[in-house]
Structure 1
């Protein structure tokens, strides 16, 4: 041992934070993106903001998602995952299963409106979306529809649920002043329109439901289910 090394004690290595691959995951990033959306809206979902939320460098996010659109599709699939988690396993009454899937989807969208408002027309092409599509098609086949009709009815039913849920999410995501102004129009503006010019509106103005009345979605859903049931009875020859 040389003099320069005599008496030198080994230095303890300072603990190192695990690298991005060890402590980041797509699941953690998606959860952080939802939190960012709740604080800053959809426009606030940036890799920088997510990195700040996770105390990680933004470049670490790119190791899991190549683009923001890639991330947004993962967020959409997470909404499908929430809906599936809240729905009983398949195999029971097909009408009730569709009802519960629709309600669970709408509820998931309303929990994350800033993300969901842009999700109605997008295709996630990921695991949970695949599982959800399979569930709905399974309901249509159990109802007795032909493969062709089952596919068409799946499309119409699912698009209705996604579109209505995205519309309600868009309303919920509005800033408070804008939302209140739009809501007030139906309790003030529409109720005071002159009968001479708008006789039909005037006749029902007192009964017009609020834009965010939960019964709006429920009514539309039951109308859709009744139509499917009627078609299924006709197909089976029992109607």
Structure 2
């Protein structure tokens, strides 16, 4: 004879497991959290499903493909970078520096997503807002429409590709300090054949990935300043 308690416990044991309810926001949030985990070089839909406590196939009810998922994750990182741009619109140099610095920081903290910037275009609100900030900055600098577009393209290419490359390096070499050296060590070269490498070896060894990233940003800013000065002169 089964007791009431036994019957109740039996009912509980036969009850179906409670499923996690998914939506796009919860999936993106979990994806960002997973990407920020040390040692995560790629986002696996299977691992993401495990983190969400859901069948991985359920993710595809909200994203048609892995690429669309990565686009959503990348656009969310871009939105975070845009949010870091707080300088007054008249201070166009500061706004460019803030956007670039935040892009490098967010990509480096989420390398599994940041590396996708080399190949993905999101067409999302984050990407559109970042483009608007850059076009607005170079317009504020006093450039002609053609030069606004050229400088935007130059800055975007440098910031995205270099930040993505740095984030890839951080993912592959998680033990590197931040910022990381541009070279892993001194260049081993015969000074008789390569005298300039020998002469500049210590300076090359002191370069960091962040130094070179910001040097490129400053080069674009200086180019905008020179171009605007020539046009006004």
Match of 1:8 in 2: none
Task: Tell whether the 8 Å contact from 1:90 to 1:135 is kept in structure 2 after alignment.
Answer: no
Instruction: Report the equivalent of 2:165.
Output: 167
Shift of the alpha carbon at 1:51? 1.2
RMSD after superposition: 2.9
Answering whether residue 5 of structure 2 is matched by residue 41 of structure 1, we say no
Q: Specify the alignment match of 1:232 in structure 2.
A: 228
- The 3 A distance-change label for structure 1 pair 159 and 121 is farther
Unpaired runs of 5+ residues, structure 1, are 1-10
The higher-RCO structure (CA 8 Å, 6+ apart) is 2
Q: Is the 8 A contact 1:186 1:208 kept in 2?
A: no
Separation in 1, partners of 2:16, 2:129? 42
- After superposition, residues 51-200 of structure 1 pair within 5 angstroms as 51-88=49-86, 91-175=89-173, 186-188=184-186, 190=187, 192-200=188-196
Maintained 8 Å contact 2:78/2:130 = yes
| Gapped regions of structure 2 (runs ≥ 5) | 1-10
CA separation of 1:58 and 1:136: change in aligned 2, threshold 3 A: same
Q: What number of residue pairs does the alignment pair up? A: 218
Report the Cα offset of residue 112 of structure 1: 0.8
- Bigger mean CA deviation after superposition, 225-234 or 202-211: 202-211
Could you tell me whether the CA contact under 8 Å between 1:186 and 1:210 is conserved in 2? no
Structure 1 position 187, deviation (Å): 2.8
CA drift at 1:185? 6.1
Q: Distance in 1 between matches of 2:107 and 2:137?
A: 22
What is the aligned partner in structure 1 of residue 204 from structure 2?
Answer: 208
